[in-house]
């Protein structure tokens, strides 16, 4: 059985919980207090961070790497595109999402970041999401008609917009509509921790 070491408010852990629930197989989630980390976390992950996935002698860290492993291990429903061209495109979107948005999410998650750094991060995330918004007026999901791993990866940020105090302008309306579509998925709801549920009222 797979065990996921997960932070109860960690957006990266939420991605992995979401995929585990989409797959509907047996797994165990171990909640980790990131302010009081268990000693073995640093042994499992040299960066001493959650999420970490353990299955027998396999230990993985990095949310997107964990999610691709789960997707290949339990192919139904398949969350990475089946077609190599679309899969290549999807991986590129994931890469850019990390570089341009989730690097800033890490600033907002870092209690040692200065207020100035956090203000800048909020603004840049707001701008990045607003730039993405028009594509959601045309497409149901990030890669087109089908829900994919790329939607999974973005969703924890969309869930936290109020919590992070990120303001989006009117032109970003299509992305908020898209977000509601993701939030209604059964697996998304099941994967939320009580602390995450409390982030949106
Ligand atoms: N790039 C990593 C980021 C993981 C990450 O930033 N985890 C945070 C919690 S959200 C953490 O464990 N922080 C504790 C620390 O860095 O000491 C991923 O995608 O899994």
What is the C-alpha to C-alpha distance for residues 57 and 38, in angstroms, rounded to an integer?
A: 19
Q: Are 157 and 194 in contact (CB under 8 A)?
A: no
Torsion of CA 119, 110, 105, 92, to 10 degrees: 130
* Most ligand 1 atoms within 8 A of CB, residue of 15, 32, 50, 60 to mutate: 50
Q: Of ligand 1's atoms, which has the minimum distance to the CA of residue 32?
A: 12
Question: 135 CA distance to ligand 1 centroid (A)?
Answer: 29
Mind listing the pLDDT tens digit for each residue in 178-197? 999 999 999 999 999 999 99
Using DSSP, state whether 167 is helix, strand or coil.
coil
User: pLDDT value at position 194?
Assistant: 97
The verdict on whether 16 is a catalytic residue reads no
User: pLDDT value at position 201?
Assistant: 77
Centroid of chain to Cα 133: 18
The whole-number average pLDDT for the span 45-67 is 98
Q: Are 132 and 189 in contact (CB under 8 A)?
A: no
The whole-number average pLDDT for the span 136-154 is 95
Share of the chain above pLDDT 90, in %: 96
The whole-number average pLDDT for the span 164-188 is 96
Q: Is the pTM of this model over 0.95?
A: yes
The continuous run of DSSP H or E covering 4 comes out as strand 2-7
What is the C-alpha to C-alpha distance for residues 157 and 15, in angstroms, rounded to an integer?
A: 10
Question: 50 CA distance to ligand 1 centroid (A)?
Answer: 5
Take atom 17 of ligand 1 and give the residue whose Cα is closest: 49
Q: Which residues line ligand 1 (CB under 6 A)?
A: 7, 10-12, 34, 48-51, 62-63, 106, 109
Q: How confident is the model at residue 157 (pLDDT cuts 50, 70, 90)?
A: very high
Q: Of ligand 1's atoms, which has the minimum distance to the CA of residue 109?
A: 10
User: pLDDT value at position 19?
Assistant: 98
Determine which one of 2, 4, 7, 10 is catalytic. 10
Mind listing the pLDDT tens digit for each residue in 87-112? 999 999 999 999 999 999 999 999 99
On the question of pLDDT at 9 being above 90, the answer is yes
* Cross-strand bridge partners of residue 52: 5, 61
Question: 137 CA distance to ligand 1 centroid (A)?
Answer: 32
Q: How confident is the model at residue 137 (pLDDT cuts 50, 70, 90)?
A: confident
Take atom 9 of ligand 1 and give the residue whose Cα is closest: 10
Q: How confident is the model at residue 67 (pLDDT cuts 50, 70, 90)?
A: very high
Q: Of ligand 1's atoms, which has the minimum distance to the CA of residue 62?
A: 20
């Amino acid at each position: 059985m797979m065990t996921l070491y997960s932070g109860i408010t960690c957006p990266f852990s939420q991605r992995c919980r979401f995929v585990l629930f989409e797959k509907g197989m047996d797994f165990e989630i171990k909640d980790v207090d990131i302010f009081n980390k268990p000693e073995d976390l640093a042994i499992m992950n040299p960066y001493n961070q959650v999420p970490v996935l353990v299955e027998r002698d396999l230990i993985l860290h990095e949310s997107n790497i964990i999610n691709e492993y789960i997707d290949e291990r339990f192919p139904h429903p398949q969350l990475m595109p089946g077609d190599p061209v679309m899969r290549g495109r999807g991986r590129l979107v994931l890469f850019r999402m990390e570089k341009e948005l989730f690097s800033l999410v890490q600033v907002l998650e870092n209690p040692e970041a200065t207020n100035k750094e956090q203000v800048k991060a909020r603004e840049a995330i707001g701008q990045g999401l607003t730039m993405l918004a028009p594509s959601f007026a045309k497409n149901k999901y990030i890669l087109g008609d089908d829900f994919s791993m790329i939607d999974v990866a973005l969703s924890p940020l969309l869930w936290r917009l109020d919590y992070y105090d990120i303001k989006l302008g009117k032109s970003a309306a299509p992305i908020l509509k898209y977000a509601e579509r993701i939030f209604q998925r059964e697996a998304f709801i099941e994967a939320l921790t009580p602390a995450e549920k409390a982030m949106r009222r």
